[in-house]
Amino acid sequence: MTGNNKKQVGWKKHTERSNPFFLKLICWIALNIGRSIARLILYFITAYFFITSPSVIRASKKYFQRIVKEKVSLATVIKHIHHFSATILDRVYFLTDQHHRFEINVYGNDVLDKYINSGKGGILLGAHHGSFEVLRSLVVKSKYLPLKVLMYRDHNQMITRIFDELNPDVADTVINLADSDALMQMQQSIEQGYFVGMLGDRVTEGERKVECDLLGEKAEFPAGPVLLASILKVPVILFYGLYEGGNKYNIYFELLADNIQIDRKDRAQASQKWVQAYADRLEFYIKKSPYNWFNFYDFWHDEKK
């Protein structure tokens, strides 16, 4: 994993499409008028992105074509965008400790209990599939899981700043990948018994990557998370916070590996094996809840084919 890069990869080219006034207005409506009214606004937001973002529409269609193997309707794309918008809105409630508004089911927390009770830290590895915020805000509130989050603060700065203001405690859990000592902060956190959450489905320019099968075609994934786990000798636990419509979220945990061993001699092959195992489980959850896929860019590099 690297710091700042001169060249922007596909996902980093997608800049924010709103402004502070409208974001703060939506937050105010959500907190002062109610979720039902705020959710009505989502239809206008969905329509806006549908009309003004042809690249988002193309990415959504290409993604669903890999699942249904047939022509994708515009209704499917609209529902896809609406699902994403709904999870962004719900961040407002998660960050302001309003979890009581939701039905949140947690599966596989016994996997975490084993390592939490031992005081051993590890890596929580997710994807841009579902909501990370439902997990992050919940564990910060309950103090059940000592958590740090590895992410780029400079991507979508405006919305990140506004959401950080809603809950500084959650904001304080972030380790900024743009910092020169980010990996040292991560190692120190794990040594102190923290779990470090990261998303393993987007490659940053200049970092080591591997090709894996996802939905029947090759896609690029970062090798960084499994390499870090092998160096630090820590477990890797997968997590997914899936939005199931209405006010329902399901959080899933499962163990990817207790101890990833990668030798220098076969680093490439071993890395590919473990990342493919991650991609296989990601595909399982994609098929379980397809509208939670939030990589609205050319993930499979279709435009280069």
**Tens-digit pLDDT profile for residues 207-259:** 899 999 999 999 999 999 999 999 999 999 999 999 999 999 999 999 999 99
Q: Is residue 1 part of a domain?
A: no
| Residue in the structure block whose two tokens are 């399901």 | 250
Judge whether 113 lies within some domain: yes
Please check whether residue 4 lies inside any domain of the structure.
Answer: no
Q: Is 260 a domain residue?
A: yes
Residue 91 CB neighbours (<10 A): 23
Sheet with 195-199, strands from edge to edge, namely: 103-107, 248-257, 236-243, 122-126, 195-199, 147-151, 174-176
Q: Considering the domain boundaries, does residue 97 fall inside one? A: yes
Residue 238's H or E segment, with its range, is strand 236-243
**Cβ atoms of residues 123 and 153 within 8 Å:** no
In a domain, 161, yes or no: yes
Task: Give domain status of residue 2, yes or no.
Answer: no
Phi first, then psi, for residue 198 (nearest 5°) are -150, 160
Residue in this structure with the two tokens 């994934």, named with its chain if needed: 221
Domain count, the chain: 1
Q: What is the DSSP letter of 129?
A: B
pLDDT single digits (tens) 168-203: 888 888 998 888 898 899 999 999 999 999 999 999
Residue 214 structural domain: 10-304
Task: Specify if 3 maps to a domain.
Answer: no
pTM of the model: 0.90
- The mean pLDDT value for 202-206 works out to 84
Residues 6+ apart with CB under 8 A from 188: none
Tell me the per-residue pLDDT of 274-293, one tens digit each, with 9 for 90 and over: 999 999 999 999 999 999 99
**27 contacts 167 by C-beta, under 8 angstroms:** no
